Structure 1
């Protein structure tokens, strides 16, 4: 975030407020009532004391004033209870909107790794670290938005109380503003340190959540390496650093709050000293009731000034939260985080706003894959000379194209750049001679489906892992599983499609995981199938059967005919012999290209055989 440009924090908070203005208005009204009802006891207290000194104007019994006080307090409790319900709903809505927009932005930029701007370079962020953004930063912004309504309510009532103070005594009232001036000066002087400490504490928390995620996802690797103690020592070091940063942040907040409260108390003391002289003076003499009314309302005005000081400090910390989240979503503007979007918060059985169905769009033959062309496609990993450069490739409908090459030659990188999982730095991608402007959003079902080297499964049933929200019946799922050569595995599972696969598919073998991921692709019948080294966990016979079943679909006729086009990474000779086109990668470039016989005669590809 540039230091020369003022971060639009107020605009972002205002957009959050405008997302649901009705709910915000109700919340603010409740807060005004919560703050306003205690104003009436001040007037009652004045009449109560005046009645004790025989200076009351209403001539009512003191017991009547006590009854009024009890009734007002009971009403105050009822308003607080109702207002808290609204406040909770308002807070939940704001937090949900922030998290929804942040998640959407991350999913719309599905790079191989989540990156965050860190000065002139980008820093990789783990999944555990991302959790701190969704938890801590969104809740901090939520607190600031909620406090806006509270400050507004306090401010309206503070003006009302200030008018009462002015009606009692003007010189005494002017002293009330002295603490406010001091608070503004302190906040201006401490702004840099406030934001610095908050940023450090958030980054330290981010590191702790990050290492926790890494530990839980790598338990087996840690045990095999015998690195338990070293990992624990590193975890303790990160926690010690977090503790130090959090203590500094909390201590600064405590010092500021103490200063604000003491300044208010000091100003109140001066006012009370002045009041004692006025009560003894024959000029502008204060009655006991006036003094009680002044002191009672004085607490609301000075309390508002104290809240203003805390709110300004909180706003500076909220800027840090917005800046961190903006850095996480890369080139997107901060306004993306507060863009109004539909939140499906109500009970779906009672709400008209049902969730959108995850169905395939209607087929259009014009958009069916006829040819896929890559022209000078380039991506170099930042800070290295590794990647791909000037890749030219053309794939025809129904063909099997195999990418092969030594380890580190750029095979997986090529697939990821093509699919938009890594941002291309140069070159163009053409689908049926039309430029693909946004590969990440374009290469999705039913146009394309992708299975990486290590497929991702969820700790749900086999059915849910295959469908992922898609509406298909059991016959479609079984057809996809048969194409993936999984029918025998399914036959021995007692719960069939309801079988739970465990966390990350831990109850399945490596080959079963890859075939389930393949079935997930087949059930969507995409135009382009992209496999990254499907052979790594399959035996030769199973893989040959899988390819035979895939291309058997090209001969089917009728409404449900499907002609898949395959782009795969493989080293197996049996697959290479079957391929219509072989791409040999070397040092990030295409070293050889052609069919099996042509590659066999090419000296650049002799290492394959």
Structure 2
């Protein structure tokens, strides 16, 4: 048996499956803010399920009404016709109002999602709002969002209630018509008391038909809007059929264990990118015609000033951003979709902004993947986290809080690196851990990874410890390659590298002096 919550779970699971596994750049998979996406998964799924729930009873009600009308027509066709006419009128009115209801409902849902998205932004930016003293302005903008949402919701509700009221009125109108038309026939004896009892008993059952039809008709445009909004969250090639496809939602038992990433048959020999170009919003910002060659066993460091395009280059290489131009090959074979090819097992990525969930440290490291305690311990040791773990009373069972709020910035950063190390990738990509680590801790981190971690590293950093151990340094300046080579060579030939190196030496000296 299928219940409405089964259907709701299935729809949400299919949307999330598409968002998480669709081909193409990850940055393009969620075209809306997280708050608006959550609103769609909540409200639009409810609209689609409500329509399905109403539609289930429509078939039985229609069959019973058809049989009842056939029997009533054999008794008195005129009175039976009087009951049918109001139902036809309701159908015509519903058809006329369907487009209006759909438009009003789409606007109400859009504004409702905007409120949810803005509330999410407020919670995510509490510190920035308080620092700027903008609490009053933020609350006033929230009130304005709510005023617009309320006005749209009232209009949407008014239209649906109007149709519901008209549908309900047809029932009473039908009863009145039966009594008016049957009275003369009863005086003449053509319409007996038994006929009247038959009609009145069937009218009680027939009242469900216009109400059910009305509910289905006013929920139909709402369901159409909901389906459209949900499919827009999914991959471009997927439609309503994929939205409702059975994908195995586990409601009555535990899902089967998640298999680890499969070991690929083509271990990294060389990862090469040619002419990588990414333009943000179609402008000139981004990276332009960047070539990059990463050989197995090498350490490559990408460095540059703030805004030089370092993170953009790494995210484009891993398929997290859409490429405007350029090709990427793995062992000489072109990669059609880097986002689904360069995944754990081949590549692991520790981003510039670490992301932890409000779960235990163990769950944050595994993310559902199987791993032994030995593998976890090894990853934590490589990430220079074992001393921190020893100081936690619950160890790996420590709940880190939303976004890792119960950990320090350095602990969050190193936990993210440890998570990337768990699957033992061919290539480890680390994007600027310097912001949360002191000089000594970062040097220890690189020493341990160099001796016991993945053979091949791609690092975004400006720190001395990373630059000195690099086999290849790529210097970016305003999105273009300003120099390439080892540190000693670049200090002689690249003015931008000399400037960055001098600034870093001064910064590290000041950091040591401040301790």
Equivalent of residue 328 in structure 1, options 233, 237, 241: 233
Tell me the equivalent position of 1:552: 451
Q: How does 1:166-181 map to 2 (within 5 A)?
A: 166-181=73-88
Equivalent of residue 219 in structure 1, options 122, 126, 148: 126
* In 1, Cα distance between equivalents of 2:287 and 2:8: 41
Tell me the equivalent position of 1:91: 4
* TM-score, with length taken from structure 1: 0.78
Equivalent of residue 392 in structure 1, options 291, 312, 327: 291
* In 2, Cα distance between equivalents of 1:464 and 1:317: 39
Using the TM superposition, give the Cα deviation of residue 570 of structure 1 relative to its aligned residue in structure 2, in angstroms.
0.7
Equivalent of residue 101 in structure 1, options 1, 5, 14: 14
Equivalent of residue 337 in structure 1, options 243, 267, 272: 243
Equivalent of residue 472 in structure 2, options 561, 581, 590: 581
Tell me the equivalent position of 1:111: 26
Tell me the equivalent position of 2:463: 572
* In 1, Cα distance between equivalents of 2:213 and 2:396: 59
Higher relative contact order (CA 8 A, sep 6+): 2
Using the TM superposition, give the Cα deviation of residue 542 of structure 1 relative to its aligned residue in structure 2, in angstroms.
1.5
Deviates more, 1:91-100 or 1:464-473: 464-473
Tell me the equivalent position of 1:452: 351
Render the CA deviation track for 1:221-278: whole Å, top value 9, x for unaligned: 2222222222111111111111111100000111111122223433432232111121
Using the TM superposition, give the Cα deviation of residue 215 of structure 1 relative to its aligned residue in structure 2, in angstroms.
2.0
Tell me the equivalent position of 1:86: none
Equivalent of residue 62 in structure 2, options 150, 155, 173: 155
Tell me the equivalent position of 2:507: none
Match of 1:382, SS? helix
Deviates more, 1:130-139 or 1:468-477: 468-477
Give the direction of change, closer, same or farther, for the CA distance of 1:231–1:595 in structure 2 (3 Å limit). Answer: same
Q: How does 1:127-166 map to 2 (within 5 A)?
A: 127-166=34-73
Q: How does 1:33-52 map to 2 (within 5 A)?
A: none
Render the CA deviation track for 1:93-127: whole Å, top value 9, x for unaligned: 111111001011111256347654xxxxxxxx221
Q: Are positions 1:608 and 2:500 aligned together?
A: yes
**Does the 8 Å contact 1:467/1:520 carry over to 2?**
yes
* In 2, Cα distance between equivalents of 1:589 and 1:339: 46
- Unpaired stretches in structure 1, ≥5 consecutive residues: 1-22, 24-88, 117-124, 349-353, 554-561
**Does the 8 Å contact 2:280/2:286 carry over to 1?**
yes
Tell me the equivalent position of 1:76: none
Equivalent of residue 514 in structure 1, options 403, 413, 418: 413
Deviates more, 1:263-272 or 1:482-491: 263-272
**Does the 8 Å contact 2:267/2:426 carry over to 1?**
yes
* In 2, Cα distance between equivalents of 1:263 and 1:491: 73
Render the CA deviation track for 1:487-507: whole Å, top value 9, x for unaligned: 222222222222222221112
Match of 1:367, SS? coil
**Does the 8 Å contact 1:461/1:500 carry over to 2?**
yes
Tell me the equivalent position of 2:259: 358
Using the TM superposition, give the Cα deviation of residue 163 of structure 1 relative to its aligned residue in structure 2, in angstroms.
2.2
Tell me the equivalent position of 1:259: 166
* TM-score, with length taken from structure 2: 0.92
Higher Rg: 1
**Does the 8 Å contact 1:183/1:260 carry over to 2?**
yes
Tell me the equivalent position of 1:429: 328
**Does the 8 Å contact 1:402/1:579 carry over to 2?**
yes
- Unpaired stretches in structure 2, ≥5 consecutive residues: 502-515
- Pairwise CA RMSD of aligned residues? 1.9
* In 1, Cα distance between equivalents of 2:285 and 2:358: 35
Equivalent of residue 503 in structure 1, options 402, 407, 411: 402
Using the TM superposition, give the Cα deviation of residue 453 of structure 1 relative to its aligned residue in structure 2, in angstroms.
1.4
* In 2, Cα distance between equivalents of 1:181 and 1:608: 79
**Does the 8 Å contact 1:402/1:583 carry over to 2?**
yes
**Does the 8 Å contact 2:442/2:465 carry over to 1?**
no
**Does the 8 Å contact 1:114/1:126 carry over to 2?**
no
**Does the 8 Å contact 2:276/2:325 carry over to 1?**
yes
Render the CA deviation track for 1:333-370: whole Å, top value 9, x for unaligned: 3232122211111223xxxxx42423232x35x41111
**Does the 8 Å contact 2:429/2:457 carry over to 1?**
yes
* In 1, Cα distance between equivalents of 2:233 and 2:455: 37
* In 1, Cα distance between equivalents of 2:395 and 2:139: 41
Q: Are positions 1:592 and 2:505 aligned together?
A: no
**Does the 8 Å contact 1:164/1:297 carry over to 2?**
no
Aligned length: 497
* In 2, Cα distance between equivalents of 1:490 and 1:324: 44
